[in-house]
């Protein structure tokens, strides 16, 4: 498939950022004009890319990070090593929104996140650093409500 690529370990970080920049070029953003691309590296070395897809009903839009991860999951991949995110920002590193941080957290807290600028420079963080004290798949308890006084 066109979206699948295997990146050699050498210069993995730069190659992943480059893939996210390429994905950014496919963004559908007629309303915000803010192009975002993402490239997620599955544990087996396969890369899945995604871009933001806006909608006239703004809340129905989808961020690049969630697009890339959803493509990977739909192909049977749920274990990730890294994700790179690119935009057209020149003066600061692009950072995932709160919803995307939680979406990434679903698949672990210890994988790498490359926040990049339009020139390809990047800042490396982990999901845990982006979403400290997070709520993950290990937190819900069957038959128990772990939040508040509810008897749910």
Strand 46-51 versus strand 5-6 pairing type? antiparallel
65 is catalytic: yes
Sorted by where each starts, the structural domains of the chain and their CATH numbers stand as: 5-130 (3.40.140.10)
Residues making up the binding site for substrate: 52-58
pLDDT of residue 152: 39
Mean pLDDT of 20-49: 97
Q: Which of 22, 65, 75, 106 is catalytic?
A: 65
DSSP string, the chain: -TT-EE--STTHHHHHHHHHHHHHTT-B-TTT---EEEEEEETTSEEEEEE-B--SSGGG-B-HHHHHHHHHHHTT---EEEEEEEES-SSS-----HHHHHHHHTT-SSSEEEEE-TTS-EEEEEHHHHSTT---TTS-BTTB--STT---
Dump pLDDT digits (tens) for 13-31. 899 999 999 999 999 999 9
Token pair listed for 79: 């274990």
Residues making up the binding site: 52-58, 63, 97, 100
Dump pLDDT digits (tens) for 81-121. 999 999 999 999 999 999 999 999 999 999 999 999 999 99
Q: Is the pLDDT of residue 3 over 50?
A: no
Residues making up the binding site for Zn(2+): 63, 97, 100
């Amino acid at each position: 498939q066109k979206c699948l690529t295997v990146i050699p370990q050498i210069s993995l970080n730069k190659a992943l950022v480059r893939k996210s920049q390429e994905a950014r070029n496919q963004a559908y953003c007629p309303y915000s004009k803010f192009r975002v691309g993402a490239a997620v590296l599955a544990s087996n070395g396969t890369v899945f890319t995604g871009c933001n897809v806006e909608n006239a009903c703004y809340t129905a839009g989808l961020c690049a990070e969630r697009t890339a991860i959803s493509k990977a999951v739909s192909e049977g991949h749920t274990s990730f090593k890294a994700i790179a995110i690119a935009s057209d920002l020149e003066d600061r590193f692009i950072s995932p929104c709160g919803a995307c941080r939680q979406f990434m957290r679903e698949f672990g807290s210890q994988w790498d996140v490359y926040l990049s600028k339009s020139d390809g420079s990047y800042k490396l963080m982990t999901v845990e650093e982006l979403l400290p004290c997070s709520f993950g798949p290990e937190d819900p308890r069957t038959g128990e409500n772990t939040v508040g006084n509810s008897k749910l």
